[in-house]
Amino acid sequence: MLWQDSCKMSARTAQIRFVSSHFEVYEPCDDSFALVDALLADRINLLEHRPTVCMEIGCGSGYVITSLALMLGQEAHGAYYLATDINPHAVRVTRETLEAHGVHAEVITTDIASGLERRLAGLVDVIVVNPPYVPTPEEEVGCDGITSAWAGGENGRSIIDKILPVADNLLSDRGWMYMVTLTANNPSEICLQMREKGYAARIVVQRSTEEESLHIIKFWRDFDSQVEANEMVTTNRAAPTRIVESMLSQFPRLPFWKYGNDSCN
Amino acid sequence: MRLLTHNMLSSNIKGVTNGFPLRIEVEKVVEKPVDFNADFLKNMFAKIEWKALVDASRILGYAELPDEAEPSMLDSDDFLKKFHHALLELHLEEGALVCPETDRRFPVTKGIPNMLLHEDEDINNSAAFLNADTV
């Protein structure tokens, strides 16, 4: 396959024409492209980071994990890729997409990382996640099939809030996480939660479409954040305001920051 | 499913305290060649439960791994090649993973383990787990 040879020569992402599909599986869309663009934008850092274990939570069509594997290389570069999805159709489609691109990731049908949390704790260097972030009635959360790809419950946060502690448990000391969020998810509050766990954050890609405003946020373990968060817990009741302010200054140009509790659309 | 993944999976059923390693039921094994990378193996070695890997590779029909391993063995090309083969090239294509405590079977189909639980088996349904880290 000639195109596979050529992909070794430059940064490549998954080709839409080779991405498999199924009517119950979310197809690559603006949010998937924004996440892959964020990984591409950070590719040099990722290559220098030399992750040993990379994982996608909620792999859907497989477009993102395939792109990551193409971008960073396979075992020859020393990386082990894992992808999970709660939707069995999605996991099968992901495997087909990976095979069509000649790359490998281990795929597992499971809820977030259930079954992996004990042995994989502290081992994952890179997590990518495009969670179900669309605000929906709570009853739609946990539905089967394609609904599981987008139904996010109140403020679109039900699944995100389950993923955050799991990711914290899985990430290694040098772990990074790239997450897609919608303005309605209140990303500033997500960053604050992660800060309390000792993570710094920055926005890698911001993109507005007709329907939604997306931010791809990168989290990484940051000793200073942890110290600050611990101080907040143990000594200083007024500190949360200070932390929020320091985060505000970190993302000065974001309109949602001032209107953190507004939902979009 | 590679044996590396088997080495990372535990039974996730509510109430199970010793869910590792999952027993393997074999219907079909496939071998797929993987580029050799000594650094990757050296990185992963410390993270591997060796006995679980040895037992799993024997069940899949590969009996070349020594019963015990220590970091000094990573200097041996012969050892690394066997470790590489067992960890990355042997795949459980069809079969099942079985919880050592409850005998609950998790099917493996087309190389994909299905770890989904029924609601009454799911530890995440207990409020304590979810609320532990949220305010």
CATH no. for residue A41? 3.40.50.150
What distance in Å separates the CA atoms of residue A124 and residue A186, rounded to the nearest whole number? 26
Dihedral of the CA atoms A254, A257, A259, A262 (nearest 10)? 90
Amino acid letter, residue B2: R
**Can you give the residue ranges of every domain in chain B?**
3-131
For residue range B80-128, list pLDDT tens digits in order. Answer: 999 999 999 999 999 999 999 999 999 999 999 999 998 888 766 644 3
Identify whether A242 is part of a domain.
no
What distance in Å separates the CA atoms of residue A84 and residue B51, rounded to the nearest whole number? 26
Pick the more confident residue, A248 or A34. Answer: A34
Count CA within 13 A, CB hemisphere, residue A248.
Answer: 12
- Residue A78 is nearest to which of B7, B43, B115, comparing CB atoms? B43
Chain A residues in contact with B133 by the CB 8 A cut-off are: 164-165, 168, 197
Query: Based on the structure, what is the number of domains in chain A?
Result: 1
Structural tokens at position A57? 């939570």
Domain that holds residue A81: 20-222
Pick the more confident residue, A184 or A8. Answer: A184
Given the structure tokens 């931010």, which residue do they identify? A215
What distance in Å separates the CA atoms of residue A168 and residue A180, rounded to the nearest whole number? 16
CB A14 within 8 A of CB A70: yes
- pLDDT for res A258: 34
Identify whether A3 is part of a domain.
no
**Starting at the edge strand that comes first in sequence, how are the strands of the sheet with B23-31 ordered?**
B23-31, B90-98, B105-109, B112-113
Among A53, A91, A119, A160, the residue to mutate for chain B (most B Cβ within 10 A): A119
- Pairing of the two strands B23-31 and A53-57: unpaired
CB B91 within 8 A of CB B111: yes
**Phi/psi class of residue A48: alpha, beta or left (left: φ > 0; alpha: ψ in -120 to 50)?**
alpha
Are B115 and A91 in contact (CB < 8 Å)? no
Of all residues in chain B, the percent with pLDDT exceeding 70 is 90
For residue range A229-241, list pLDDT tens digits in order. Answer: 555 555 444 444 4
Structural tokens at position B83? 């470790």
Identify whether A32 is part of a domain.
yes
Please check whether the domain covering B3-131 is classified as CATH 3.30.230.10.
Answer: no
**B21: contact with A, CB 8 A cutoff:** no
Dihedral of the CA atoms A111, A112, A116, A120 (nearest 10)? 180
Identify whether A50 is part of a domain.
yes
Identify whether A229 is part of a domain.
no
Indicate if the pLDDT at residue A114 is higher than 70. Answer: yes
DSSP annotation of B126 reads: S
Work out the average pLDDT over A211-236.
73
What distance in Å separates the CA atoms of residue A14 and residue A250, rounded to the nearest whole number? 32
Work out the average pLDDT over A78-98.
95
- pLDDT for res A182: 95
Residues within 8 A of A (CB atoms), B 53-72 only: none
What distance in Å separates the CA atoms of residue A146 and residue A141, rounded to the nearest whole number? 11
CB A188 within 8 A of CB A215: no
For residue range B28-39, list pLDDT tens digits in order. Answer: 999 999 999 999
CB atoms within 10 A of CB A148: 22
Are B37 and A77 in contact (CB < 8 Å)? yes
For residue A81, give the chain B residue with the closest CA. Answer: B5
Alpha-carbon distances, residue A132 vs A88, A156, A180, A200 (angstroms): 16, 7, 9, 23
CB A220 within 8 A of CB A175: yes
Identify whether A120 is part of a domain.
yes
For residue range B32-83, list pLDDT tens digits in order. Answer: 999 999 999 999 999 999 999 999 999 999 999 999 999 999 999 999 999 9
Identify whether A35 is part of a domain.
yes
* Phi, psi dihedral angles at B93 (to 5 degrees): -90, -45
Chain A nearest C-alpha distance from B58 (Å): 21
Pick the more confident residue, A223 or B100. Answer: B100
Q: Which of A155, A222, A166 is nearest to A189 (CA)?
A: A155
Chain A nearest C-alpha distance from B51 (Å): 14
